[in-house]
Amino acid sequence: MMAQLTIPGRPVPKKNSMVVRCINGKPVVVQSRTYRDYEKQALRSLADYRGPRFSGPVEVTAGYWLADHRRPDLNNLMAATADILEKAGIIRNDRDIISWDGSRIMGVSPTPRTDITLRSAAGQCRLSGLSRS
C-alpha cells in the first residue's frame, strides 16, 4: 500500500517553535503561533484525504520545498510532519514510522510545500524482544 500527498505552505519545524508561558503560575511550554497556524492549515489541507490509512509500520519520504534560503532543522521538520500525519489520522501513531529514507530539504520554490510518500512496511519490521510502550 502506498500514498502520495502534499501539505501546501512553508514547512515549519516543531521543536524550534516553542515558547514558555505561565499558566496558573506554572511555566508551560507551548508551540509558537507560527507552528500552530501551520499545523492547523496542514490539517485543513489533509481533511479531504481519501487515500489509504496506515495502521502498522510505515516508511515515509518527505521533500521539503522552502520559501527562502533559511534552513530549518530537517529533523524538526520531520517531527512536525509525523505529528501532523498522526493528527490527521493518516497514520495510527508516529512511532509506526520505521524509516525516513530519502527525506530531504529539496530547495527553494515559489510554492513552498511538503511532498510526502508513505509506504506500508508490514512484514518488514520484525523486532523481537522490543516492547512498544
Residues 11-63: tens digit of each pLDDT:
999 875 556 667 787 777 778 888 999 999 999 999 999 999 999 999 999 99
Phi and psi at 111, nearest 5°, equal: -120, 80
Q: Is 133 inside any structural domain? A: no
Beta bridge partners of 91: 54
Contact (CB, 8 A) for 79 and 64 = no
* Domains of the chain: total: 1
Q: Is 132 inside any structural domain? A: no
Q: Is 92 inside any structural domain? A: yes
Confirm whether pTM is higher than 0.85: no
- The range of the structural domain enclosing residue 36 comes to 2-120
Rounded (to 5) percent helix, strand, coil in the chain: 25, 35, 40
Q: Is 8 inside any structural domain? A: yes
Q: Is 131 inside any structural domain? A: no
28: helix, coil or strand?
strand
List the alpha helices (DSSP H) in 11-123.
Answer: 33-46, 74-87
CATH of residue 85: 3.30.1330.70
